[in-house]
Structure 1
């Protein structure tokens, strides 16, 4: 498999290095344990002769030539943590040039993988329009606003599509690399995971901070504050809208536009977050915690935790100790 890693100025150090380390480990293990030749022909390229990482380290890159015909192109994240810094990066000349190369490679049959902020660069090409995708959960509201035609689900860690795959925040680079290794050999991917002490994660949901997402919109922030004060009560869209001096339809539309979910779903996110906090910080049993977050019995809360986080109460308590 011929893989091109497209490194741009200000590339996220961890994202780039974990990608390279995963594939170099896979090549070494493939030759040593499975008696084969390296499975991945890896090339790091840049649109400029010199590329520095977000931490200021110089990355040796190869020039992009017409003869370069990758099977896969990986777009690591740029180091940007706010919409303002990301928007500035997306408007850079080298980023526009990179978009052009991505479109050309895709037209020639290459698949494209992107993780974290790299998904924004891929979305800028239009190749994700009308396709499912994920991105870093922390900037999902900005992604949803900027690319309304992308079917975004930031709760997922990795989403394969017809043009490649997208992965979630930061360490999603490792999930993407391991997924690609698995396409060549599930056994090799499992061995690499064990060598790197890396578990494949199917969801970003356990890492999402609801309050962070609420900061993206004044109405959603007010709704979040109201919700936290009423977690023990049954949810009413009409009562929430009335308390916020807006209409139920407006609140519904704003939640969908900013969060990609209904007001009730976000309200349940807050319940799950608070339940996790109580599991960590109190010795209360599940029935008491269920009552604290507005459920009549522990069975309902157990089901919600399993649905949202993919783990049961015992697993959550063990992880948080």
Structure 2
């Protein structure tokens, strides 16, 4: 996979470095542990000859040439924390030139990946219009105002589309890198994730990969949204299929093809997710949480959590202490 990382003046240092470290580890593991050649050919490129990060560090960029034909282009975030600073930065000549270069690469078949404020640069090209995207949550209002044609959901960490993928705030750069590594090799992504202690997002571990995969299929995307809206009512394959204007057989087959599991199993993944949120953020007891996710009593929920996460309710709540 050929990846061009587009470095702009004043970018967010951590966003760039965490991605470079993740891909570097992936290549080392691929060569040493998995007996293969590096999976990723990275080039750090710039629309200007000299680029400094937000912390003033010089970034060794190479010039963009006609023979550079990346499969993916990654746009790290600018280090502009306030909305007014970002609006000014988006009008800079180098940022405008970068947007034009993204359009050129996209026309050649490249996919675009951006995290945090980097998603604004992709949106500037118009390529996200009438598509779903995410961005850093605290700039959601500005994003909606500036790009009303984009379907924004800043509650999501990663949103793939036919243009590429957008990711959420700050350390979403790591999620973005791991998502790209996973496309090449789930085993390799698991190694990198463990090495970088990426289980800091362990509360999302049971469902995050199915969640990503669901975005690749329109029917599964709609099923996911329907499922989240009906957790409390419980699961019915026939009702879900009718709501999605498809057959139960088609939904069953598509879930298996895309997610590798049944609709009921995926529905239970979403129950686990919501139950975890409530365990962490509410004062509800287990029976009350069970009712919120469609179970009659807490015993069933405890069993499901133990099966899916390998932890009981007490352990899950202790994780945040």
Determine if the alignment matches structure 1 residue 286 to structure 2 residue 285: yes
Distance 1:144 1:49, change over 3 A: same
Pairwise CA RMSD of aligned residues?
Answer: 2.7
| Residues 279 and 289, structure 2, Cα contact 8 Å, conserved in 1 | no
Partner residue of 1:158? 158
Distance 1:202 1:48, change over 3 A: farther
Structure 2 gaps of 5+ residues are 205-275, 295-300, 302-307
Q: TM-score, normalised by structure 1?
A: 0.68
Determine the C-alpha separation between the residues in 1 that align with 2:282 and 2:66.
58
Structure 1 gaps of 5+ residues are 204-271, 280-284, 291-296
Shift of 1:80: 1.4
Determine the C-alpha separation between the residues in 1 that align with 2:202 and 2:158.
8
Determine the C-alpha separation between the residues in 1 that align with 2:316 and 2:145.
33
Aligned length: 236
Partner residue of 1:177? 177
Determine the C-alpha separation between the residues in 1 that align with 2:202 and 2:140.
18
Determine the C-alpha separation between the residues in 2 that align with 1:36 and 1:120.
36
> What's the CA shift string for 1:212-270, capped at 9, x where partnerless?
xxxxxxxxxxxxxxxxxxxxxxxxxxxxxxxxxxxxxxxxxxxxxxxxxxxxxxxxxxx
Partner residue of 1:34? 34
Partner residue of 1:8? 8
Distance 1:88 1:300, change over 3 A: farther
Partner residue of 2:143? 143
Determine the C-alpha separation between the residues in 2 that align with 1:187 and 1:106.
29
Determine the C-alpha separation between the residues in 1 that align with 2:203 and 2:9.
30
Q: Secondary structure at the match of 1:320?
A: coil
Shift of 1:48: 0.7
Partner residue of 2:48? 48
Shift of 1:320: 2.0
Using the TM superposition, name which of 94-103 and 184-193 deviates more: 184-193
Partner residue of 2:102? 102
Determine the C-alpha separation between the residues in 1 that align with 2:55 and 2:183.
32
Shift of 1:66: 1.3
Shift of 1:144: 1.1
Q: Secondary structure at the match of 1:126?
A: coil
Determine if the alignment matches structure 1 residue 193 to structure 2 residue 193: yes
| Residues 3 and 40, structure 1, Cα contact 8 Å, conserved in 2 | yes
Distance 1:81 1:298, change over 3 A: same
Determine the C-alpha separation between the residues in 2 that align with 1:147 and 1:158.
18
Partner residue of 1:58? 58
| Residues 15 and 76, structure 1, Cα contact 8 Å, conserved in 2 | yes
Determine the C-alpha separation between the residues in 1 that align with 2:75 and 2:315.
34
